[in-house]
Structure 1
Amino acid sequence: MSMGPQRIVCLTEEPTEVLYALGEQHRIVGISGFTVRPAIARREKPKVSAFTSAKIGEILKLQPDFVVGFSDIQADIAAELIRHGVEVWISNHRGVDGILDYVRRLGALVGAGDKANAYAQSLQAGLAAIEREAAALSRRPKVYFEEWDEPMITGIRWVAELVRIAGGDDIFPERAAESLAKQRILENGDEVVRRAPDIILGSWCGKKFRPEKVAARPGWDAIPAVRDGELHEIKSPVILQPGPAALTEGVTEMARIIRAWAAAR
């Protein structure tokens, strides 16, 4: 008899990705419509939620014994499910250590603690390897990470930490420490100009990054990154979700961009 919840609904992508990585995907009965990793999940699991809204009726029909979501943004969905007697876990991790801990906790909750510990260790080893390689770079670039353009929103904490692991320095560390997106909104672009990033990374949640629009902002032609054409997109599914994708594909892409920048100096 397998222990732990048998009918799990995942309201965001990262629990789906973790459960598949642990070989526990048979427990998942519903996923987020924004799920892109792993690709097979989209084909074989019903989509029952967006990020800020969910089909409560559809979720209840699936008779879940456990629902997993993320952050204050999903508080209303969680409250409604709880009122219907569903067990809900809303995680609220913000940093790299938090993501690793999340993997361990989710694994433990479904009775796959040992597999989850091994998986978290392999993710950690991958980050350590990237950090070692970055330590050998001749220079560390200053990096501006933009999560949204109108208004401009700077990178969340795990993004800033991954920039550092990949060999760069996030130009807004004080904002990365804030947990709510509204505290990461830039009133205007002057502060970015003043902090003079060497690289601009864009990941506009769910829409294509437009470097030419960024470069055309008033006064931004003075920024080293704009002058040198160092504006790069990192696709939002691999960096803006606090799960395995960010600790693997996301940080690897950052490291590649930073290495190429350093090699050209």
Structure 2
Amino acid sequence: MSSDLAQTLIVMPAFNEEAAVAGVVAEVFAKLPGATVLVVNDGSRDSTVAQASSAGATVIDLPFNLGVGGAMRAGFKYAQAHGFRYVVQVDSDGQHDPDGVPSILAALRSHDVAIGARFAGQGDYEVRGPRKWAMKVLASVIGRIARTRLTDTTSGFRGAGPRAIAIFAEHYPAEYLGDTVESLVLAARAGCTITQVPVSMRSRAGGTPSHNPGKAAVYLGRAALALVIALWRPPITLRHEMTTQP
């Protein structure tokens, strides 16, 4: 695992996460020795950059807010430019436990994308109402496209191997839910293999949630729209030299 970690870039998108980001970076370094941590500051108006830098992370400071998708594309471009074999997204708010990263990396030895799934038998993460049903429908549809059983296609705790990095560095979606739903459809239709591993989620260590109960009813329509957009766009074709993992 140490050799995998040496080839791994942990990408942490961050928007106004001054309360949590330093602690999360420190925890990642402690639990994943040898990994490189890249915090992509997504136009924060607080001291996120200073906090991340003080904890030892490499920082990309975007001049304005692009959303998680835009921040992750910057991370994938960095990984590709610096020769990293694996990219794992870890939220800067503390919800993703770095203890789950080794399982994701193990899955990436045989798959192009590995999702840290919240509903796969580990932990007690739970959602209700329209959001729950939207997640179930999305998992069913995307699982059919990817030809595998999936239970959590909106989890941001996920990893990418060489072929997926090549795709995502150029084409990672930036629209709402594009970084989760559309990116999986994009990868599957490009011939990437997708799997999931069970992980536990935690409460935020600080900052403000991006969703609240009042937005739950809107989630279903937006999720459906994201899926339609993903299916409408033409498949990405990898160049021949990128189609085989080293």
TM-score for both structures, normalised by structure 1: 0.28
Larger radius of gyration: 1
Higher relative contact order (CA 8 A, sep 6+): 2
